[in-house]
Amino acid sequence: MSRRFGTTLALVAGAAAAIGVAPAARAQELRLSTFVPPVHVIYREIITPWAQEVAKATNGEVKVTLYPSMQLGGKPPELYRQAVQGAVDLVFTLPGYTSPAFPRVQMIELPGLKPDGVAATNMMWDLLDPYLLPDFEGTKVIALWGAEDAGWMSRAGAFRTLDDLKGKRMRAPSAAQAKQLEVMGAVPVAMPITQVYQSLERGVIDGAMLPFSTIVDFRLGEVAKGITVTGPLFGRSSFLIAMNKQKYDGLSPAARAAIDKTSGRGLSLKATEVYMTRSQQGVASLKGKAEVHELPAAEQKRIGEVLKPIIAEWIKENEAKGIPAREMLRKAGYPVS
């Protein structure tokens, strides 16, 4: 740099200071890690627009940078712990991947609790403070929502009755849903959604319990030969965007207020609706390519009776841990004695 040019820069900087013009502050970057690829519907329609909204609402003070497909390292079940420990700033994940860490949130996975994802999402936000918050120690909940109804997928023809599940190796999204599969006579296999395609293709599993929004985003229609639309029989998966609490607390009051305004129940309900629409698209994409079977009302009722004792068992297990499980169910509108 020449002496003349350096002198010019110094004069410009001095003039700016004299009239009170400060140089633009560097944006506070928040790194969001997730297991889903960039083509995933939630990545495209919820996470990306939210990141853009945060930048706008904070006037550029906060920039959320997205890292899909585990680009920052680790495995899907490790995501939430990464956020707690501050290895990443934000995550999009499933509490069900590490069910023991979320004993209260497991409530959403109980069979037949709510009729759809919207009702389940509202239930979680109604219960968040004070009932569910202890599960999220060390993080700030940005969004928390319930998926559409879970159903069955098969590498052969569709499962048509409860008896068809006997002895079948079935992927389970969480510990609670694994329990349901076990009660129905299947052999549950814990597995993140990213492993389902390969496992179905190779015959590692006979089928899977999952929300049908996964059909399109994880290309499961290429390996599934049958799906069973079961209705709201089973517990539904919950999804979470969480932020490291220390990182959140370190932001300016204005930035925190902007994040609060753009997140929460409203963002969660949008995500639920995106999943419900995607589920319909997934089922429609398989018609004519795979067997699509809807469980008749009589079979749904039969399965519901088989699953009913799970709720009493959940109450007993969690009250032994000091969790007010019965009170939580009552608050959610579920009839318990």
- Map residue 146 onto helix, strand or coil: strand
Asked if 27 and 63 touch (Cβ cutoff 8 Å), the reply is yes
Asked whether residue 119 carries a pLDDT value surpassing 90, the answer given is yes
Asked whether residue 60 carries a pLDDT value surpassing 70, the answer given is yes
Asked whether residue 6 carries a pLDDT value surpassing 60, the answer given is no
Q: Which residues contact 281 (CB under 8 A, 6 or more apart)?
A: 216
Asked whether residue 21 carries a pLDDT value surpassing 80, the answer given is no
Distance CA 13, CA 19 (A): 10
Q: Which residues contact 263 (CB under 8 A, 6 or more apart)?
A: 50, 142, 143, 241
pLDDT value, residue 27: 86
Q: Which two tokens stand for residue 143?
A: 């969004």
Q: What is the largest CA-CA distance in the chain?
A: 88
Asked whether residue 8 carries a pLDDT value surpassing 70, the answer given is no
Alpha-helix residue ranges (DSSP H) falling in 155-308: 175-183, 196-202, 214-217, 245-249, 253-262, 265-286, 297-307
CA distances from 20 to 15, 17, 26, 255, 318 (A): 9, 5, 18, 23, 60
pLDDT value, residue 337: 77
pLDDT value, residue 44: 97
Whether omega for the bond prior to residue 130 falls within 30 degrees of 0, making it cis, is yes
- Map residue 161 onto helix, strand or coil: coil
Print the SS3 string covering 82-118.
HHHHCCCCEEEECHHHHHHHCCCHHHHHCCCCCCCHH
Handedness of CA 166, 169, 171, 175 (dihedral sign): positive
Q: What percentage of the chain carries pLDDT values higher than 90?
A: 87
* Domain range summary for the chain, segments of one domain joined by +: 25-147+237-277, 150-235+289-311
Under the banding of pLDDT at 50, 70 and 90, the label for residue 26 is confident
Asked if 259 and 62 touch (Cβ cutoff 8 Å), the reply is yes
pLDDT in tens, 284-335: 999 899 999 999 999 999 999 999 999 999 999 999 999 999 999 999 999 9
pLDDT value, residue 149: 92
Q: What average pLDDT score do residues 85-94 get? A: 98
Same fold, 25-147+237-277 and 150-235+289-311: yes
What is the model's pTM? 0.87
Q: Which two tokens stand for residue 286?
A: 């398989």
Architecture of the domain defined by 150-235+289-311: 3-Layer(aba) Sandwich (3.40)
pLDDT in tens, 172-216: 988 889 999 999 999 999 999 999 999 999 999 999 999 999 999
Helix 265-286 crosses helix 117-127 at what angle (to 10 degrees)? 160
pLDDT value, residue 262: 98
- What is 173-205 written as a DSSP string? SSHHHHHHHHHTT-EEEE--GGGHHHHHHHTS-
Asked whether residue 13 carries a pLDDT value surpassing 80, the answer given is no
pLDDT value, residue 271: 98
pLDDT in tens, 121-173: 999 999 999 999 999 999 999 999 999 999 999 999 999 999 999 999 999 98
The amino acid that residue 202 corresponds to is R
Distance CA 191, CA 196 (A): 7
Contacts 24+ apart (CB under 8 A), 292-299: 292/158, 292/226, 292/227, 292/229, 293/158, 293/159, 293/160, 293/226, 293/227, 293/228, 293/229, 294/228, 294/229, 295/160, 295/228, 295/229, 295/230, 295/231, 295/233, 299/161, 299/162
- The CATH class, in words, for 25-147+237-277 is alpha beta
Q: Which two tokens stand for residue 176?
A: 């609670």
pLDDT in tens, 299-308: 999 999 999 9
pLDDT value, residue 25: 57
Asked if 149 and 223 touch (Cβ cutoff 8 Å), the reply is no
Helix (H) or strand (E) holding 43: none
